[in-house]
């Protein structure tokens, strides 16, 4: 599971640290990537800052890039249909991008059972939601059915029985956690959730 990530200060392994597992989950939810760059796009500054801290463990500050998207283009980048600024933080690193993409293809080979609460905290912080009563409509949204199904398999390893529903109009897939397991799930990810700590 260990992978050297050239031109970084050290080697990187997703399963070696729950912080890494959280970052991986967050990237799977809201990740940005191009042919040679990897990062995060979010309207949440706390999540962006967490990604910055992660990058600083491996790269010098001058390699970390930031774009800010605004509705009126005042920041140089335009984000339509949004009342909030969006932030995109990234670095150019093909080796790190390769590790994340390979792990996303087969997450069970890159996460230990002890990492799953941190990984799903990242997934939930990025693309999750629940009703105000913290019981109904606990969901994580996905762009691809295969990713949702892989996460269903991971959750079953730790005793949950989620299901996946396809929304044809929006071409999205939603992993649902039963209302009978919602509090159990929220407690499962609670130690690592940044939005909870916020």
CATH number of the domain where residue 130 is located? 3.10.28.10
Assess whether 183 and 119 both reside in one domain: yes
Question: What span, in angstroms and rounded, lies between the C-alpha atoms of 16 and 57?
Answer: 14
**Number of structural domains the chain divides into:** 2
CATH number of the CATH domain containing 93: 3.10.28
Model confidence pLDDT, tens digit, residues 47-89: 999 999 999 999 999 999 999 988 765 555 555 555 778 899 9
Assess whether 183 and 168 both reside in one domain: yes
Arithmetic mean of pLDDT over the chain = 88
Owning domain of residue 27: 14-108
Assess whether 76 and 139 both reside in one domain: no
Q: Is residue 148 part of a domain?
A: yes
- The answer to pTM > 0.85 is yes
Q: Is residue 88 part of a domain?
A: yes
- pLDDT band per the 50, 70, 90 thresholds, residue 97: very high
Assess whether 48 and 126 both reside in one domain: no
User: Exposed e or buried b for every residue in 100-131, given b needs 16+ CB within 10 A?
Assistant: beebbeebeebbeeebbbbbbbbbbbbbbebe
Assess whether 102 and 162 both reside in one domain: no
Angle at 178 between CA 174 and CA 183, to 5 degrees: 115
Q: Is residue 24 part of a domain?
A: yes
Q: Phi and psi dihedrals of 65, rounded to 5?
A: -110, 150
Question: What span, in angstroms and rounded, lies between the C-alpha atoms of 91 and 185?
Answer: 33
């Amino acid at each position: 599971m260990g992978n050297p990530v050239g031109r970084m200060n050290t080697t990187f392994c997703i399963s070696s640290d729950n912080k890494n597992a959280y970052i991986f989950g967050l990237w799977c939810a809201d990740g940005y990537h191009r042919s040679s760059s990897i990062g995060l796009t979010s309207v949440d500054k706390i999540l962006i800052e967490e990604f910055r801290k992660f990058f600083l463990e491996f790269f010098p500050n001058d390699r970390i890039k930031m774009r800010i998207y605004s509705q009126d283009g005042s920041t140089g980048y335009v984000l339509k249909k949004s009342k909030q600024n969006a932030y995109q933080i990234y670095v150019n690193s093909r080796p790190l991008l390769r590790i994340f993409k390979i792990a996303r293809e087969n997450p069970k080979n890159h996460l230990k059972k002890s990492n799953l609460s941190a990984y799903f905290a990242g997934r939930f912080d990025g693309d999750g939601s629940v009703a105000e009563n913290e019981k109904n409509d606990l969901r994580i949204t996905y762009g691809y059915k295969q990713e949702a199904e892989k996460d269903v398999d991971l959750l079953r390893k730790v005793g949950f029985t989620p299901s996946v529903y396809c929304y044809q109009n929006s071409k999205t897939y939603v992993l649902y956690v039963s209302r009978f397991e919602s509090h159990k799930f929220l407690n499962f990810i609670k130690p690592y959730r940044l939005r909870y700590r916020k």
